[in-house]
Amino acid sequence: MKENHYSQPNFSPPQVARGKQCQSTPPWRRRLLTFLLLVMALAVPRQAYAGAHFGTDYGSNSRYNSRISHHPTVDEPWITVYFWFYDRDGHDGYFLHNQTEPGHDGPAVYVDGKYICSPNWELSWASGNGNASGLEDQRGKNGWWGGTYTRNVDGVNYTVRFWDPRRENDQYWVEMVIYMDKMAVATEHDIKIRGMWRINDVSEKYEERTFRTQAIRNIFSDSPSYERTYGSLKVKGSYINPSYGPTTVAMSTAYFSGKNYWDPSTMNQAVYKTYSKGASSYNGLTLSYNEQGGSFNLYTQKSITVTPKDRPSTILFGWLKSAINDYDESRNVVAATDMWKKQISLTWQVYGSSFYKDGTWSLPLP
């Protein structure tokens, strides 16, 4: 593995302004000034001797900043966090093997507040006063490193892997890749790393850092219209993104929070259909339901399955909540009798969810 060496900017001490004529300083005064400067340098704490805390931020423009290095997208729906986990600048800083989560040694990883795994072997190199020499031997991996961690939480399968341990200056870095087999569009995710962190001879306490992803853009946006008859709801106008697919559309009148993916075959009171890539609407999809007579909410889930090359598959999904109003209501009904024409004329106004229209009907008299 070819190692990249980076160096911090080399700031030279400011030059001292001089006049055209300089007066010499006595030797004893120069020695006294040198001694005082040395005492001041030893008395002022510096980062190099204090050791770094896990959450240390070196500035938003610094390449020595831990960060999300890959945000999930429609085509690449995984998360990559690039962070340093061992610092040997001055007093070494590193994770201990203490249990962050009961029954699991070492630091822990959380996604959206949910415990996922404890990568103790990968992130904790504590042995005596640290084990930087052992970690140094790992830098030639240049590929997947350590173990693969999987856990199912609330119906989502999480997979965590580590890639290419390396060193930049006096810190050891690694990429942590997180896969989710179900991921909602238009939703951010928080990735937290937490563990007992030691700075030799200085401190020992739990430290953590949280990284927030950007949301996958919403490819399921829609403003559908419906035709309601007794016990039936028919889609009259809708939109499917033709750039993706196959797209499965599922509709139900049962309550769904819209935060989780539901297998359409397990949804209560649901109808669903899969449309091939290139389809632009799901017009005609009809949901039968128990007629209640009043207004209600309709929940629609759209989903696609993305399978990138050499990566696990992910179901991307999005929810739409639509308010279905009661049947149209006739108001302001007026009956007028015309004896010359021998007919009765009825006039009215029909009110729907967001409109009204005039109506007229004539009935001949016997």
131 C-beta neighbours (distance < 10 Å), count:
16
The answer, yes or no, to whether residue 209 has pLDDT greater than 60, is yes
| pLDDT tens digits along 147-156 | 999 999 999 9
Is residue 298 within 8 Å of 256, Cβ to Cβ? no
**Domain segments of the chain: what residues?**
51-212, 225-324, 329-364
pLDDT on residue 151: 98
Confidence band for 41, pLDDT divided at 50, 70 and 90: very low
Can you give the pTM of this predicted structure? 0.78
Q: Can you tell me the distance from the alpha carbon of 230 to that of 210, in angstroms, rounded to the nearest whole number?
A: 51
Residues 6+ apart with CB under 8 A from 107: 95, 100, 118, 119, 120, 123, 124, 193, 194, 195, 196
Confidence band for 90, pLDDT divided at 50, 70 and 90: confident
Higher-confidence position of 167 and 169: 167
| pLDDT tens digits along 252-276 | 998 887 789 999 999 998 999 999 9
Q: Poorest-confidence range of 61-65, 114-118, 171-175?
A: 61-65
pLDDT on residue 114: 98
* Nearest residue to 176 (alpha-carbon basis) of 67, 272, 253: 67
Q: Which residues pair with 364 in a beta bridge?
A: 343
pLDDT on residue 39: 46
pLDDT on residue 89: 79
48: three-class secondary structure by DSSP: helix
Q: Can you tell me the distance from the alpha carbon of 10 to that of 12, in angstroms, rounded to the nearest whole number?
A: 6
